[in-house]
Amino acid sequence: MFIGVDVGGTCTDAVLLDKGGVRATAKVTTREDLLASLTEALDQVTVGVGREEIERVNLSTTLITNLVAEKKYDPVGLLLIPGPGVDARGMDWPGPTCFIPGAVDYRGREIAPLDTAAVAKAAADFRDRGITRVAVAGKFSNRNNGHELLARDTILGVVPEMKVELGHQVAGALNFPRRAVTAFLTAATRERYRFFAEAVLEALARRQITCPVFVLKADGSTCPLAYSVQQPVETLFSGPAASTLGVQALTPPGETVVVVDIGGTTTDLALILSGQPLLSARGARVDGQLTQVRALAVHSVPIGGDSVVDRVGREIIIYSERAGPAFCLGGPLPTPTDALRVLGLTLQGDPDRAAEAMNALGSVLGCDAPATARKVVDLFVDSVAREINLMFAEWHKEPAYNVWEIMQKHQGRNRGLQTVVGVGGGAAGLTARVAAAVGCYPVMPPYAPVANAIGAAVARPTMQVSLRADTQAGYYLVLEEGLRDALPAGATEEDVMGIARLWLAKRAARYGLTVGPEVEVTRREVFNMIRDWRTVGRLYDLSIQTSRGILAYIGTGGAVHD
């Protein structure tokens, strides 16, 4: 049996899956104490279940998202080594920042040595300002981490108790500003996340739940809870990933669908293309900050079932704020949920209070409650439909750098959307309308209100390795490990792929996973380096991963994939 728990902003949902079927579900209100909400939902679905029957618990938590959004993190100093190029001083950085001379180029060659005196001075300055955490990030540190390592040693030499995070360890892809922000957020949240993870493990132990415990990441894969403290920011935004995976589990394999998750304050949109959730090209955006966190491409529309609806002049407007539950559920102000209640599209809440809310809005416009409710629903549907079309258009316009990719896109450009799958609290009343507005078929899968918890339950660990090898310079890098090692002369693509597989197995073993023979190659770049009409070496850039996918499709008669 698998358990999935999704601690969301409004609700905490849990499911118990047994042989590809849903055996129990729970929904509780998320309180300030996330751990208490989590255990409450967990206890509800495990009533009468033998502890030894539980094979795996998967958690998805909004903790990091909340910490970042509410800026409830510890102060962090940024120590940047930008080198030449874009003027880093002219950019917005999330915390107090020091710029240190030193430079590395795109092939990892040192252009200018690190100014360690400047690093030492910056460390002392940070200490004097009461800052106990520092994030270090260098331009091209993913190609040569020497300066970041030296900076850390220098900082610790001056302030031994300083907690230091290094950019190349948390963000191995090209993009220095995102690397710096990702390192910053890692430094900012790691300790609080560690407390939370330890508390969860302790609470489970108290319940004699000793099976493996995983946490959902933003890219829809999981990671053992104990290891997730190394990269806490990867758990950012796992909520939308949970619903998307839930839809994947609740619809037939291989479908192309739009996921519309209508919650209390936001409506999250995601794409599943031929059965695989679409990843965002460059990484997650967190509270306006751009990171390198691998994440599903989720568009958030800032309106949901509990959004405040108001009238300004003769216009009805849906605001992005929530003032409490819907009026018909005892809340203070009219909401889209009240409109749905009036139209009979939901049966939750008091119909008289819903009508009262709509009348308060519409009477001045000369509209009765149903007419006003229709206006509100139309407004909601139009906003969501517009975002769906925008998201799809953006996906089509995503740049590609090879001829074959562009040709593939060109040939497939007329293949449009066909299915809208609605999940979340507001899905029942709105999915059909949203689907109609974008010319698609609506699907409301069973268990739609707890699709997020199902998604958490069926997620499985995926391990990546990105390897870069430079035969001319004679080294290779494993980006996820921050490792640089010598490459045998004349290494072929097969040799390099072999090294990547080895590291994939090594990393997986550390997570308690075994790597099967089927490995997915997600990126493959091979370049001959030509100088003076002669081939002087090769550059290989390979990314491989254990296959993506989910543990089970619900309702397929217990087909479990692992």
Partner 1 sequence: MTKTGLVFFPAFDWAIAPDHPEREERLLYTRDQIFEEGIMDLPQVVEMAPRLCREHEIRRTHFCVPDVASQTTEAHLIAAGAAQVLGDEIVAGRLQNGFAVVRPPGHHAMRVVHGNRGFCNINNEAVLVEYLRRRHGIRRVAIVDTDVHHGDGTQDIFYHDPDVLFISFHQDGRTIYPGTGFTHELGGPNAFGRTLNIPLPPGTTDESMLFVLDNLILPVLADFAPELVVNSAGQDNHYSDPLGEMLITARGYATLTSRLRPHLAVLEGGYAVESALPYVNLGIILALAGLDFDQVREADYPRTFYEDPARRPRLEKMVADLLQIWRMKDRMDLGAVFGHEEFYRREKSVYYDTDGIEEKQVETVRVCRECPGFLNIDSRAVHPDGRPVNVLALSVPLAACNRCRTLAYDAYAAARANAASYHHIHLQDKSTDTFLAFDVAGNRETVSEG
Positions that interact with partner 1 (CB under 8 A) = 84-87, 90, 105-107, 109, 111, 139-140, 174-178, 282, 290, 396-404, 406-407, 409-410, 525, 527-530, 532-535, 539
Distance CA 460, CA 238 (A): 13
Structure token pair of residue 404: 């074959």
Taking the complex as a whole, the smallest distance from the CB of residue 290 to partner 1 amounts, in Å, to 5
Nearer to partner 1 by Cβ, of 111 and 273: the residue is 111
Dump the DSSP string for 224-272: EHHHHTTSGGGGTTHHHHHHHHHHHHHS-TT--EEEEEE-SS-EEEEEE
Nearer to partner 1 by Cβ, of 176 and 503: the residue is 176
Taking the complex as a whole, the smallest distance from the CB of residue 111 to partner 1 amounts, in Å, to 5
Nearer to partner 1 by Cβ, of 210 and 528: the residue is 528
Nearer to partner 1 by Cβ, of 208 and 402: the residue is 402
Fill in the amino acid letter for 193.
Y
Taking the complex as a whole, the smallest distance from the CB of residue 262 to partner 1 amounts, in Å, to 30
Nearer to partner 1 by Cβ, of 63 and 236: the residue is 236
Taking the complex as a whole, the smallest distance from the CB of residue 392 to partner 1 amounts, in Å, to 14
Angle at 281 between CA 507 and CA 148, to 5 degrees: 55
Nearer to partner 1 by Cβ, of 124 and 530: the residue is 530
The alpha carbon dihedral of 440, 14, 185, 282 has a sign of negative
Task: Report strand pairing: 11-18 vs 2-7.
Answer: antiparallel
Taking the complex as a whole, the smallest distance from the CB of residue 501 to partner 1 amounts, in Å, to 24
CB 337 within 8 A of CB 305: yes
Locus of tokens 């991963």: 545
Nearer to partner 1 by Cβ, of 174 and 505: the residue is 174
Taking the complex as a whole, the smallest distance from the CB of residue 130 to partner 1 amounts, in Å, to 30
Taking the complex as a whole, the smallest distance from the CB of residue 471 to partner 1 amounts, in Å, to 13
Nearer to partner 1 by Cβ, of 398 and 493: the residue is 398
Helix axes 116-128, 146-158, angle to 10 degrees: 50
Taking the complex as a whole, the smallest distance from the CB of residue 531 to partner 1 amounts, in Å, to 9
Structure token pair of residue 510: 């550390």
Task: Report strand pairing: 213-216 vs 56-61.
Answer: parallel
Beta strands in 292-392 (DSSP E): 298-301, 307-312, 315-322
Q: 70 CB contacts (<8 Å, ≥6 apart)?
A: none
Nearer to partner 1 by Cβ, of 317 and 406: the residue is 406
Structure token pair of residue 298: 């989720």
List 5's β-bridge partners, or say none: 14, 59
Taking the complex as a whole, the smallest distance from the CB of residue 399 to partner 1 amounts, in Å, to 5
List 524's β-bridge partners, or say none: 542
Longest alpha-carbon distance in the chain: 82
The number of residues in the chain equals 562
Locus of tokens 């499709």: 553
